[in-house]
Amino acid sequence: MRSRVVLLFAVLFLGTGAAVPLRETNHSRVQENFDFNQTLGQWFSIGSAGDSLWFETLMGTSRMIKFILSATEETNKFKAILVHEWNGTCINMTVYYEYLESQQMFKYIPVPGYDAHIAIQVGLIQYQEFAFLIYDSQIQGRKTKSVALYGRTRKLRTEINEQFKEFVLRQGIPEEMIMFLPDKGSCSGNDDIWSTGRR
């Protein structure tokens, strides 16, 4: 269960319980003129921040995850293949998302039997460099809010990390709940090639 929560928190368009009502999602936070297709390709989880007590259990133990976003045959639906390390072994995991264009949000599609529904907004994005994502989630009846930083490469400019901190603070999450994920092990990959991931 813990590994699944870590992965869901880290994945682009990558949190989780009953669905968060749409009225609780603040659409004023989203990136204007968002282009879904430009998000496809390779990303790395760089930083995370959350307002939940369970987030504290992840601090100091989480690490960078590499994943590839690609389109599916269904309109506005895509999949993310995550590559992560668990007990010394590299594991691939596939998760699915739907982009609700009229509501300017993404929706995590939970696996059968897993109570995980997440509303996701793109707060800020530079398609070939980084993205800030906002998660409004409900995990087993507990509502949480989190923000994640993703990069096209495993290391981003210092200015972007500082901008992420400022963005997190504006969401009402305290600075001590911000963490930057270490690049440990071979599972995050050694290549920084930007792949489109288009089918």
Domain boundaries, the chain: 2-180
- In order, the DSSP letters of 146-170 are EEEEEESSSS--HHHHHHHHHHHHH
In percent, the amount of the chain with pLDDT more than 90 equals 28
pLDDT at 56: 54
Give the C-alpha separation, 188 to 66, whole Å: 5
- pLDDT tier, 25 (very low <50, low <70, confident <90, very high otherwise): very low
In the chain, the amino acid numbered 59 is M
- pLDDT tier, 44 (very low <50, low <70, confident <90, very high otherwise): very high
pLDDT at 138: 74
Residue 69's closest CA among 45, 85, 102, 48? Answer: 45
Sort residue 195 into left (φ over 0), alpha (ψ -120 to 50) or beta: beta
CATH architecture assigned to 2-180: Beta Barrel (2.40)
The two three-digit tokens of residue 46, written as one number: 């760089």
| pLDDT of 196 over the 80 cut | no
- pLDDT tier, 60 (very low <50, low <70, confident <90, very high otherwise): low
Position of tokens 């290391």?
Answer: 155
Position of tokens 């869901």?
Answer: 8
Which positions ≥6 away from 191 have C-beta within 8 Å? none
Which positions ≥6 away from 166 have C-beta within 8 Å? none
pLDDT at 38: 92
| pLDDT of 23 over the 60 cut | no
Instruction: Work out the average pLDDT over 79-107.
Output: 83
